[in-house]
Chain A
Amino acid sequence: MVKFIAKRLVQMAFLFFLFLSLVFFLLQAQPGDITAQFLNPQIPAEVRAQILGRLGLDGSIWSQWWNYVTNFFTGNLGVSFSQFPKPVIEVITERIPRTLFLFTFATLFAYVLGFTLGKRLAWKRGGLGEHGVTVGGVLLYTIFYPWFAILVILFFASTLGWFPVNGFLTVEVWRGAPFTGNQVFTQMLFSLGISAVILAVGLLVSRRVSERSTARMIRRSTYALALIAMAMFWLLRPEMRPYAGNLVRHAILPVLTLTLVAFAGTMLLTRSSMLETLKEDYILTARAKGVPEKDIRDRHAARNALLPVVTSFILGLAFIIGGGVVTETVFGWPGMGALLLTATVIEDVPLATGALGFIGVLALMAHLLVDILYVVLDPRIRVQTGS
């Protein structure tokens, strides 16, 4: 297993390298050079050469390319044009926790909702419910997303007033707060991360244990521990509570909108995957063994139907990240996606490409996690990876 992860990391690094190179050459393909907008065209040639030298733009294209890529890997993304002299990496790191927060929760909810609905839909075939939910799901999937987001805001925030209209925090609430929004986000994500690790470890251990009752006990205590870990943040930092509450209140609409649009793909795929799985002989065997219906659905069918769903989830990740960019922009959520757009519009090239690179990193990391998940789930692959 460790070998597998290491191998995958290397592959990811290579893919990222490819990606960065493509971005770099894309930049170069622009008409004129990068500094065209930012330098007064009337400055004398020597001064211009000097500036180009300082910015590292005077070497051959290959040396520039090499510099660019290696710099990225060491965290040197250049300096932002628009927020000069702030380094790009600083601007981006400030934004990451907010994007991660949105992305993680939207992904989790979309996936769980899509899978559960798809599983149940495939089980109870026919009927108005199936048709309605399928059509509804597809409509949500194809709806014009920015428009949908605006509708949601206008309806729930402007008209009904249940949620704030935009932004990720209410300034009045946060005035004079002893910590930044990012700190609170990071804490929340941290506890989420810990509970995820607990869940993973606990469930893996319980699979190894053969005694049924012990395994169940381990599983139950794992769930409890995970919940406690998530609440740990709530318990250990009482002073953060109202601020966290405010953040969550702002987060509800964006996360909800992104989830609604993303779940349909998973739901439809789960449904067709389940339908395929239900035709398999081992389902009939399970029924012949007298396995209760619910166990057939969950332990036999869904568990196998899960596999292609997880694979296609990789595609879904790209969709959610892209959707995240739009979500952040429309909801005024100041994350990396919104940064990308504003940087592009004001033509701050280092910032825009830095943000794009980071989004690439996010995509690759998520891909890696899903790959690992797949290996854990499918024993047939495990043998091949030598674990």
Chain B
Amino acid sequence: MVIKDSERPDLLEPPLEELAGVEVREGELPESLWKVRWKLAWTGFKKNWKLFAENKIGLFGLFLILVFAAMAIAHPILRSVGPWDDDRIYDPVIGYDAVVSDFEIVPTEADVVDPVTQMDAPTAQLWCFGVLPGEICSIPRAPAPPGPGHVLGTDPLGRDIASQLTFSTRAAFFLGTIAAVVTVVVATTVGSMAAFYGGWLDNFLMRLADLVLLLPLIPILIVISGLFEVTMPLLGILIGVLSGFGGTAIVLKSQALSVKVKPFIDAARVSGGSNMHLILKHVIPNVLPLSFLYMMFTVTEAVSLEATLSFFGLINADMTWGIMLSTAQTQGYLRSGFEFWWLLIPAGLAVSLLAAGFFFVGRAMDEVINPRLRSQ
């Protein structure tokens, strides 16, 4: 039992119409309908933005997303008119650059302390004939550490890491978008149909949702990718369908149910609206904000899932962050330690940060949509 709302002046706000400066007079509207709708929508958006912005974490997440978006946009620019326009070197898939580095020669393999800057004499003989321990030999190498021309170095096949990184950002956004949209479409459809048609359909769909919920996604996707050729678009659809049928559908169904019992639905039905019409016109707009929220979490999941599957070499794509790590791993550069850090850190960090960014934004949006979660 705490203070009632009437004693909390900061909770009492003028209605939206007043804030938007829209006069509501009896009888007629002073401005045209679409203008009024636009003003209300815009003011509503500003109000929600203020709430969203209160949460530092959400802002941080948004910042991360924008950084990655910038990277995604930057890639084609850098590759066409920027410093990366040389296809032979900077193409993320087929580029090659043999960066010449200096190696200090040591007597035997056992003496190699840092494989990045040292090489044993027998191996070095292949390039610098007659070289002795203690001397320097310049050898073209891949992977090469960050240096001139390659901000993040090159990978085991001589390809520029930074180019790969930014190229993969586009793939990630692409995948995330597909997965998110498919999830929302599937979940909204399933949820609305279950809510409105009820009966055995409802039962069946909910049993199916239960099943999907408790089955682990990764093993299923692994097997699917073994049986079929999984490309990025297909993966997006798969993730979308599998998560759309699960928990999201259940949540959206209860949301649809709460809309279903509102009086205006009865009114619409009386005036002849069919179920489908009701769903499209009334349920979907009401359910949309919640769907948008779940889209954020779906993108998080999709980015992580794709990276994991690519890491195991199961996805058929040109270049993604997962593939970058997979290349490094299978060629054995991640065995012994952090010497080849530029193969390890940028790609992994990218996956983690993009996933985290969408998650943070999702949580902040959650607090806007569900006011009970706010720290007050």
Q: In the complex, are there CB atoms of A and B closer than 8 Å?
A: yes
Taking the closest CB of chain B, its distance from the CB of A84, in whole angstroms, is 18
**In chain A, residues 142-159, which have Cβ atoms closer than 8 Å to a Cβ of chain B?**
142-148, 150-151, 154, 158-159
Query: Which of B174-182, B190-198, B225-233, B283-291 faces chain A?
Result: B225-233
- On whether the beta carbons of A360 and B348 are closer than 8 Å, the reply is no
- On whether the beta carbons of A144 and B215 are closer than 8 Å, the reply is no
User: What chain B residues lie within 8 Å of A343 (beta carbons)?
Assistant: 226
Chain B contact patch, size range: 35 or more
User: What chain B residues lie within 8 Å of A142 (beta carbons)?
Assistant: 300, 304, 352, 355-356, 359
Query: Which of A201-209, A298-306, A321-329 faces chain B?
Result: A321-329
Chain A residue nearest in CB terms to B336:
A158
How does the 8 Å CB contact mask read for B274-317 relative to A, with 1 for contact and 0 for none?
Answer: 00000000000000000000000000100010011001111000
User: What chain A residues lie within 8 Å of B304 (beta carbons)?
Assistant: 142, 144-145
Let me know if A76 is at the binding interface, CB within 8 A. Answer: no
Measured between alpha carbons, how far is A345 from B228 in the docked complex, in Å? 12
Chain B residue nearest in CB terms to A145:
B308
User: What chain A residues lie within 8 Å of B223 (beta carbons)?
Assistant: 23, 26, 340, 344, 352-353, 356
User: What chain B residues lie within 8 Å of A315 (beta carbons)?
Assistant: 213-214, 247
Taking the closest CB of chain A, its distance from the CB of B305, in whole angstroms, is 9
Taking the closest CB of chain B, its distance from the CB of A123, in whole angstroms, is 15
- On whether the beta carbons of B313 and A345 are closer than 8 Å, the reply is yes
- On whether the beta carbons of B312 and A143 are closer than 8 Å, the reply is no
Query: Which of A113-121, A133-141, A179-187, A239-247 faces chain B?
Result: A133-141
Residue with the highest number of chain A CB atoms closer than 10 Å, among B219, B222, B226, B351? B219
B interface majority secondary structure? helix
Chain B residue nearest in CB terms to A268:
B363
Please judge, given known A-B contacts A272-B373, A315-B247, A345-B226, whether A147 and B211 are in contact too, CB under 8 Å. Answer: no
Q: Which of B226, B247, B325, B348 is A352 in contact with, Cβ under 8 Å?
A: B226
User: What chain B residues lie within 8 Å of A100 (beta carbons)?
Assistant: none
Let me know if A364 is at the binding interface, CB within 8 A. Answer: yes
Let me know if B217 is at the binding interface, CB within 8 A. Answer: yes
How does the 8 Å CB contact mask read for B202-216 relative to A, with 1 for contact and 0 for none?
Answer: 000001101101111
- On whether the beta carbons of B207 and A138 are closer than 8 Å, the reply is no
Q: Which of A19, A135, A147 is B348 in contact with, Cβ under 8 Å?
A: A147
Let me know if A378 is at the binding interface, CB within 8 A. Answer: no
Q: Which of B222, B329, B355, B360 is A325 in contact with, Cβ under 8 Å?
A: B222
User: What chain A residues lie within 8 Å of B201 (beta carbons)?
Assistant: none
Measured between alpha carbons, how far is A143 from B353 in the docked complex, in Å? 7
Measured between alpha carbons, how far is A24 from B313 in the docked complex, in Å? 24
- On whether the beta carbons of A150 and B334 are closer than 8 Å, the reply is yes
Taking the closest CB of chain A, its distance from the CB of B248, in whole angstroms, is 12
Let me know if B337 is at the binding interface, CB within 8 A. Answer: yes
Let me know if B338 is at the binding interface, CB within 8 A. Answer: yes
How does the 8 Å CB contact mask read for A172-199 relative to B, with 1 for contact and 0 for none?
Answer: 0000000000000000000000000000
Q: Which of B213, B225, B337, B338 is A314 in contact with, Cβ under 8 Å?
A: B213
Taking the closest CB of chain A, its distance from the CB of B310, in whole angstroms, is 10
- On whether the beta carbons of B214 and A143 are closer than 8 Å, the reply is no
Taking the closest CB of chain B, its distance from the CB of A222, in whole angstroms, is 30
Please judge, given known A-B contacts A15-B207, A145-B304, A315-B213, whether A340 and B222 are in contact too, CB under 8 Å. Answer: yes
User: What chain A residues lie within 8 Å of B218 (beta carbons)?
Assistant: 322-323, 325-326
Measured between alpha carbons, how far is A26 from B352 in the docked complex, in Å? 31
Let me know if B372 is at the binding interface, CB within 8 A. Answer: yes
User: What chain B residues lie within 8 Å of A340 (beta carbons)?
Assistant: 219, 222-223
Please judge, given known A-B contacts A146-B325, A344-B225, whether A363 and B214 are in contact too, CB under 8 Å. Answer: yes
Please judge, given known A-B contacts A30-B228, A150-B334, whether A318 and B57 are in contact too, CB under 8 Å. Answer: no
Residue with the highest number of chain A CB atoms closer than 10 Å, among B222, B337, B338? B222
- On whether the beta carbons of B211 and A15 are closer than 8 Å, the reply is yes
Measured between alpha carbons, how far is A353 from B226 in the docked complex, in Å? 10
Provide 27 A-B residue pairs closer than 8 Å at the C-beta atoms, listed in order of the A residue.
Answer: A15-B210, A18-B207, A19-B215, A30-B227, A125-B375, A139-B352, A143-B355, A144-B307, A144-B308, A145-B308, A146-B308, A147-B307, A151-B348, A159-B338, A315-B213, A315-B214, A317-B216, A318-B217, A321-B219, A322-B217, A323-B218, A325-B218, A325-B222, A343-B226, A345-B313, A356-B220, A363-B215
Closest 5 CB pairs of A and B: A147-B348, A344-B226, A322-B218, A144-B351, A322-B216
Question: A325-B218, A344-B223 are known contacts; what are 5 more A-B pairs with Cβ within 8 Å?
Answer: A26-B227, A148-B348, A150-B348, A344-B314, A355-B219
